[in-house]
Structure 1
Amino acid sequence: MVRTVYSPEYCLQYLEQYASKEIFVIGLILGQTTSARENVIHLARTPDEKGSDSASEVSYSSDKTDLLKNLLSVSDAWVADHAKHVTRMLPGGMFVQGIFITSDEDIFDDPNHFSKVKSILNYMYKALNVDQYMYGNCPYSNERLVLHMSTNTKVLTCKTVEVGTANKTGLMKPVEWKFLPKAQQWQRLDCYYEFDEVYPVIVKKSGISVKHQFQQILESAHKTIESSVMFIDGELKDGSEALEQLIKKKKPKSAVTKTSQQEVPKSMHVSLFVPFENSLPETVEYLECDGSIHFSGVVSSSVFMCPKATISEAITAVKQDIIRSLASRFTMHCDALIDDNLLPEEKVCFNEPPRRVLVPVGSLYLCDYLFPGEAPAEALLSVRELLDLQITEADVVCDVETPADTSEFDALDRDASSEELLATPQEASQFMYITGICFAMFVLVVSILIHYYDSIVEVIGKLLSRT
């Protein structure tokens, strides 16, 4: 059975725009794969590479200083780095599905060019697989799309190439690509997940690694979210049911008209509940720490699913979105630090990772992240460089997350007076130990009173009768 991919018609116009100029272009295919359908949402041209001595120094710029002439001159690391940056902007359930190319070469029949295509895709696969919490690679398939438009004949060809395996033959499979004249329908699911956790900090000889601390927070958050139960509009749904069935159930029969069918479905509210037994550790260990990280805030999640997708697929996408968003912010925050080996002199240190904003792409939204003090105009630069889109500042939705309230931290003085308010690790453990004994004694007294309640009442009755 031939694999079928659906994409909006403007993707065809996007390809023709570059093919008509008879120039070589390579870029990313962004989309969503579900059990019912595979949709492409956008094609994003990879920016032209600026000269650098190492792959770790790559930086994107709109300056066309080093235009690529053909496929063989493409840097595998450059395209993979582009894929990593774009993955941060994708909501849960959406992935980089492959690459597109406009050129005058026949990339499928020429052995050298086809070998280069496989090299790029495999390098991208390995790069995206490094951070498991970024969910860079689609878990449903190891096949990646390769879309090619000839600048000479304007013929469009799409095939799949398997990645991440020991198979060196690189078997190609044909793909039927369908362009839709109308905008695709998407079901939006919104979730606000609140974090309020305290994590221990242990200072080693090498100091405190901020990246290591954040990695531990991600591991804990991942376990918690994976164990949670998802409710849609306050109800627990059957995982095998399609989202479009929920939409039909909510509509009264009298409202099923031609006009109502053309309306955009309303957003579904998603709530995640963590079972109590999964919120407690299996074993409790005594741990003397040098400090703690209070991780607090609300993560805004907006996921867009094909209406034919199942509830189970929607659940997975929402959970992916929350973890991917955290992983993206932590990575950006650590990259912005001057020294990752951070041991602040202050007793209280406040850090605010970037907040999420939404940017429109077709009939749905992707996201970007703004650091404290940055204006929405900063998002326009990322969208133009990474997604090859032109939007205005008014298009950026900035109110999905509000800046952090730092008033309680500003009230703390960074002097000796604030140091007196903070107990040492020994004092803190002693306080918790004493509190535990008092609470245990209280529970013991109450249990004795309950156990001997009848006997006590009888004795009191006899004493009262004598008087």
Structure 2
Amino acid sequence: MVRTVYAPESCLQYLEQYAAQEKFGIGLILGQITDSRENVIHLARTPEEKVSDTISEGESLLERVESMAAVSEAWVADHAKHVTRMLPGGMFVLGIFITSEEEIFDNTNASSKVKSVLNYMHKVLNVNPHMYGNCPGTNEKLVLHYSNKTVVCKSIEVNSAIKGLGAKPVDWKFTPKECQWQRLDTYYEFDEVYPVLVKKNGISVKDQFQQIVEEAQKALEVSVMFIDGELKDRSDPLDQLVKKKKPKNAKSASTDPPKSMMVSLFVPFESSMPETVEYLECDGSIHFSGVVASSVFLYPKATVKEAEAAVKQDIIRSLTSRFTMHCDALIDDNLLPEEKVCFNEPPRRVLIPVGSLYLCDYLFPGEAPAEALLSVRELLDLHVAAAAVLCGAETPADTSEFDALDRDASTEELATPQEASQAMYIIGISVALLVLVVSILVHYYSDIRRAVGNVV
């Protein structure tokens, strides 16, 4: 059975634009794969690679690629890695597109280069599993070749032992209407405390964030998803849930887009408790607190099971993306042991409209929406007005608690681990004595009541 992929006509216009310039072009295919249908949402041309620093006139010297042989595997893979951060859960880099008059699939050298690019991209996206760079369940990537004469799409299995290209035909269809997406929104709250151990070279911020992501993923894996406050059958299509909610007198031919569904994730109590209790003498702790705003978009006939996977992917991908960006922006990854209190504020999420759905970007504290437009223009090849960027999904961090801690740390020395454990021991004894006194009083009061009852 031939694989079928659907793309909006805006993608055809995008390809025609570059083909008309008679220049070689390569870029990424962004989309979603579900059991019911494969949809492309956008084509993003890979920016030209910088080959040197700024020249005398203040302009960057860019390397113009004229053929498939000159394409840098690392540059395309790096583009895919950065674009993946901007995709909501359930969306992936499905492959690459090429605009040129050069024959891609029948030319041995060109086809070999195509497979090399796909293999390298797959490898880079697999380095960090928390980013969900590669679409789970498949090792095939799409290759779309467009010229003024033909449109040919094939799927290629990556990291396989197959010699040659091993391409399979794909039926690529441009549709006049954009896909009607079902939106699912959720706000997932974090409020956890993690231990910190000081090593010889200090405390690695990256390692601490990695621990947070791993713990968050464990909790999400066992969490139960409710849609609009109800537990749904995982095999139900999303559009059936929308139909059940519509009143009987509603117009069946309504063209209004489906309303957003509110999602809640609950971690079972027994799963939130540790399997074993271990005494660990720590040098400090990290209080990780905040809310991740999540908006995912799925094909309406996607199942509740697929929607659940997309929501969980989105939360973990978002955490991983902003932690990575935060660590990359740090001058020194190590926190020195003598630092008493340190406040880290990763970038917050903003939404970027792309057709009838939203992709995302991240803004550091103090950055304006215009900063996000630079990434959108360079990585997605889109021109979006600053007013269209939705910045209200997540609010800036509240630093009042940190400010109070910082003031206390500047005037008082923090207790050593031994002093802290002694303090906890004293508190524990006090609580035990209080419980003992209360139990004696209750017992004594009950004896008096029984005695009075006997007299009466």
Q: Aligned AA for 1:288?
A: E
d(CA) in 2 for partners of 1:227 and 1:41?
A: 30
Between the two proteins, what is the percent identity of the paired residues? Answer: 73
**Does the 8 A contact of 1:347 with 1:414 survive in 2?**
no
1:22-421 matches, cutoff 5 A: 22-51=22-51, 65-150=62-147, 153-258=148-253, 260=254, 262-343=255-336, 345-414=338-407, 418-420=411-413
Deviation by residue 1:225-254 (Cα, 9 ceiling, x = unmatched): 111111000000000000000010011121
The secondary structure found in structure 2 opposite 1:254 is coil
The secondary structure found in structure 2 opposite 1:108 is coil
Q: 1:62 to 1:21 in 2, by over 3 A?
A: farther
Task: Report the equivalent of 1:57.
Answer: none
The secondary structure found in structure 2 opposite 1:83 is helix
The secondary structure found in structure 1 opposite 2:290 is strand
The secondary structure found in structure 1 opposite 2:79 is helix
Q: 1:316 to 1:464 in 2, by over 3 A?
A: closer
The secondary structure found in structure 2 opposite 1:104 is coil
The secondary structure found in structure 1 opposite 2:340 is coil
d(CA) in 2 for partners of 1:218 and 1:257?
A: 44
d(CA) in 2 for partners of 1:154 and 1:344?
A: 65
Deviation by residue 1:40-99 (Cα, 9 ceiling, x = unmatched): 00000000011169xxxxxxx995621111111011000000000000000000000000
What is the TM-score when the length of structure 1 is the normalising length? Answer: 0.92
- Of 403-412 and 302-311, deviating more is 403-412
Q: Aligned AA for 2:184?
A: L
**Does the 8 A contact of 1:108 with 1:114 survive in 2?**
yes
Q: 1:417 to 1:383 in 2, by over 3 A?
A: closer
Q: 1:253 to 1:410 in 2, by over 3 A?
A: same
Task: Return the offset for 1:441.
Answer: 5.5
Task: Return the offset for 1:171.
Answer: 1.5
How large is the Cα RMSD of the aligned pairs?
2.3
The secondary structure found in structure 2 opposite 1:333 is helix
Q: Number of paired residues?
A: 452
**Does the 8 A contact of 1:355 with 1:403 survive in 2?**
yes
d(CA) in 2 for partners of 1:256 and 1:9?
A: 28
d(CA) in 1 for partners of 2:176 and 2:435?
A: 70
Q: 1:301 to 1:465 in 2, by over 3 A?
A: closer
Q: 2:420 aligns with which of 410, 428, 432?
A: 428
**Does the 8 A contact of 1:350 with 1:409 survive in 2?**
yes
Task: Report the equivalent of 2:9.
Answer: 9
The secondary structure found in structure 2 opposite 1:335 is helix
Could you tell me which runs of 5 or more consecutive residues in structure 1 were left unpaired when the two chains were aligned.
54-60
Task: Return the offset for 1:414.
Answer: 4.9
The reply on whether 1:18 has 2:53 as its aligned counterpart is no
**Does the 8 A contact of 1:19 with 1:154 survive in 2?**
no
Q: 1:143 to 1:464 in 2, by over 3 A?
A: closer
Q: Aligned AA for 1:294?
A: H
- Of 436-445 and 87-96, deviating more is 436-445
Q: 1:439 to 1:41 in 2, by over 3 A?
A: same
d(CA) in 2 for partners of 1:279 and 1:89?
A: 30
d(CA) in 2 for partners of 1:63 and 1:7?
A: 34
Q: 1:192 to 1:456 in 2, by over 3 A?
A: closer
**Does the 8 A contact of 2:51 with 2:61 survive in 1?**
no
Q: 1:413 to 1:368 in 2, by over 3 A?
A: closer
Q: Aligned AA for 1:290?
A: D
d(CA) in 1 for partners of 2:291 and 2:30?
A: 27
Q: Aligned AA for 1:18?
A: Y
d(CA) in 1 for partners of 2:153 and 2:357?
A: 25
What is the TM-score when the length of structure 2 is the normalising length? Answer: 0.94
**Does the 8 A contact of 2:52 with 2:61 survive in 1?**
no
Q: 1:419 to 1:252 in 2, by over 3 A?
A: same
d(CA) in 2 for partners of 1:8 and 1:424?
A: 62
d(CA) in 1 for partners of 2:315 and 2:451?
A: 65
